[in-house]
Chain A
Amino acid sequence: MVDVREDILARLLVVVAAIPSIRSSYRNNIETAENQLPAVIVLDGDEETNEANNRPSNSPILVQMTPGIILQVSDANTAGSVVNTFRGDMIKRVLFDTELNSLIAKSSPRGNGAIHYLGCQTDVGWMRTGYAALTAQFMFKYTLRPEQL
């Protein structure tokens, strides 16, 4: 059995958890505490296809998966700067990770797979200290082969 989606998400967590100074990393855990920051959370996210062709139901399908990654940091008055530093590191690690790119390439040997950074949204606030969060979206384009599931 090969589930490319699961393989990508599992690897994505490993990649972002390795960002220096990250204290906690989770997948789909949306409740953290201040003592766990800086934290990174991988959200599985949605998938889309553009399958509208009259093809056999078990044909390979080109899938666009868009997982989210939430970075949460605390700091005095520079939380925005801190989260931006993490952001740069995260984007670089995800886009250049050999294993993630290999998963995409193996699923789509014709070269139509890809990893793209789509953008991010930010939030700031106050707790005991200053707080900043950044939610980034990536798009993983891979080929889903129903017979491999």
Chain B
Amino acid sequence: MSVDFNTDCYDPVYSVLGVPATLTVAATVVELTVLDKTRRKTVASGGAEVSSVGPGVKVRMLELAAKGITVGQWDGALLTFNGRSWIVRKGDVLGSPNGEDLGQVWLLLKEAAVG
């Protein structure tokens, strides 16, 4: 028996924990539901470390495709959610047991204010 990860796993999680987001790709603006994955992050060098956050979200590939966003189009896009705006610096396709097109993408972000 196969498991439909979008129906059985992602949809319940996104319906509870997902937040509305706006992704602006060039002149195209789409509404999405994202999981806010911004977490504490430290970077180290020379024996010293700096604490900050690593901003990021997860988005379902199925939803992106339904809104006309293809792989890589997110690079440099403006993403607004939870009251802040960010620039997508890259997206890691996470895949799923049903294949990467039915999985999620982890969008890694940087502060929009600093360009």
Contacts and interface: CB of A to CB of B under 8 A. Distances in A.
A141 B66 CA distance: 68
Contacts of A37: 50
B109 to A, nearest CB: 8
A43 interface: yes
Assign chain B's interface to a size class: 20 to 34
Given A75-B114, A129-B110, A129-B111, A123 B54 contact: no
B52 A34 contact: yes
Contacts of A33: 50-52
A127 B46 contact: no
Chain A interface category by residue count: 20 to 34
A126 B114 CA distance: 13
A133 B114 contact: no
Interface in B46-104: 46-55, 89
A125 B46 CA distance: 13
A66 to B, nearest CB: 13
Interface in A76-132: 76-77, 121-123, 125-131
Given A31-B51, A33-B52, A76-B115, A130 B110 contact: yes
B45 A70 contact: yes
A126 B48 contact: no
Given A41-B48, A121-B46, A135-B46, A129 B54 contact: no
Interface in A9-58: 29-34, 37, 39, 41, 43
A75 B114 CA distance: 7
A36 to B, nearest CB: 8
Interface of B: 41, 43-55, 89, 108, 110-111, 114-115
Interface of A: 29-34, 37, 39, 41, 43, 68, 70, 72, 74-77, 121-123, 125-131, 133, 135
